[in-house]
Structure 1
Amino acid sequence: MSGALRIALADDQALIRAGLRSLLQQQGLEIVFEAADGNTLLQQLAGQPVQVVVSDIRMPGLDGIEAVCQLRARGDTTPCLLLTTFDEADLLLQATAAGAQGFLLKDADPADLQAAIMQLAAGKTLLQPVSTDNVRQRYRYHADGAPRALFSAKEVAVLRLMAGGYSNREIAGSLFLAEGTVKNYVSVILDKLDTRDRTRAVLKAITLQVI
């Protein structure tokens, strides 16, 4: 498998790891090693560098998010793709804050998983927004600081990435939009939240539970 993209795979469930290993190998990727928890992942990475880490976000002991935090703290910039079965809006923010370059739900299409890995290996980011169905009821408020208008699902997705500190260019790459389109979304978001800058917009959106 000479020349294949080198991958580290972490998941606490052996059956899930086996399934992912088989899938990724069929796609021509090389699984350098597997780990059942974050601590093992960090130990193995110290001696066996890879091009992309694919890790479950929920693992006993040291989970995927904390593993990425510790990886970044020791100066390791290996791209990390975090996978989860949990459809929770907060996980995307936690993943971006930890320093992960990618986030996908485990029910993503295999082709999307392969594309995400290739994108991360190329130095890009892929932070797929989780479903916003469970937060849409939060868009109506009865307070003085309420948004001027309701938010669309795409605006919420942009807001989440803004909260992770991503630039317009990075948001555009993650959401497959033109950079100019993202700039327009940001302007609309600032207007709806009646704020002058991105930081105040994110803080207000968090306070109002938009994200």
Structure 2
Amino acid sequence: MSPPIRIALADDQALVRSGLTALLAGFPQLQLVAQADDGQALLDALALAPADVILSDIRMPGLDGFGLVRALRARGDATPVVLLTTFDDEDLPLRAAEAGAQGFLLKDASPEDLVEAIERVANGETLLSPVPTDPVRARYAYRDQAEPTDTFTEREVAILRLLAGGYSNKEIARAVFLSEGTVKNYVSDILDKLGTRDRTRAVLKAITLRII
């Protein structure tokens, strides 16, 4: 049996920390090893309790979530970070990616979505926009549910998630450190694999097929 995924948590609201602590305790594959009420306190705690995945609120007094990620990367710590927020701001996923975070999730996501996000970033994946919930999937169900012609790479899934956030090729290129031309080629390959004519149809089909 695999060891549990060690989680470190930063949130300035005690009730949120208590709620997430209780939620994580319900999943035996997860283990909360550290928690703090701001980014700097969590950085200090990580020196004593290394984690596999960090969950952090974005907006906190003192060192916020973006600052926490930047501080980790500056000291050479590549621990995956999933940033949490109650604010559905269209710029947040891109800012999270630019800071060096691997995931971004709204706090109203279901427990299953949160656990899925943790497990996926622990396995090296990147979630650059909120994981669609089941009601969202149902609302945007796409009529063509034929399987893709080929599997998707991790990079292609990351670009699909940014497409779902409405980002341009230029913005995506900046977030994933590629040239705009390379992103354009990736988007073309994604459309071909999904058998769709444009970005909107590609995103809707990808959500329907649970590719993102």
Partner SS, residue 24 of structure 1: helix
Superposed CA deviations along residues 150-179 of structure 1, whole A, max 9, x for unmatched, are xxx7371464543312569xxxxxxxxx99
Superposed CA deviations along residues 114-142 of structure 1, whole A, max 9, x for unmatched, are 000000110111122599xxxxxxxxxxx
1:126 matches 2:127: yes
Amino-acid identity (%): 50
| Structure 1 stretches of 4+ moved >6 Å | none
Superposed CA deviations along residues 26-63 of structure 1, whole A, max 9, x for unmatched, are 01211001110001011111222110001101100100
1:12 matches 2:1: no
Which amino acid in the other structure matches residue 5 of structure 2?
A: L
**Residue 36 of structure 1: aligned partner:** 37
Q: For residues 78 and 90 of structure 1, what CA distance do their matches in structure 2 show?
A: 23
**Residue 162 of structure 1: aligned partner:** 173
Residue 24 (structure 1) shift: 1.1
**Residue 190 of structure 2: aligned partner:** 181
Q: How does 1:1-211 map to 2 (within 5 A)?
A: 3-28=3-28, 29-129=30-130, 154=164, 156-157=166-167, 159=169, 160-165=171-176, 180-181=189-190
Q: For residues 89 and 49 of structure 2, what CA distance do their matches in structure 1 show?
A: 32
Residue 162 to residue 14, structure 1, CA distance change in 2 (3 Å): same
Aligned residues: 159
Which amino acid in the other structure matches residue 166 of structure 2?
A: V
TM-score where L is the length of structure 1: 0.66
1:87 and 1:130 in contact (8 A); partners too: no
Root-mean-square deviation over aligned CA pairs? 3.3
In the alignment, structure 2 segments of 5+ residues that lack a partner are 133-162, 180-186, 200-212
Partner SS, residue 113 of structure 1: helix
TM-score where L is the length of structure 2: 0.66
Partner SS, residue 56 of structure 2: strand
Residue 3 (structure 1) shift: 2.0
Q: For residues 6 and 35 of structure 2, what CA distance do their matches in structure 1 show?
A: 12
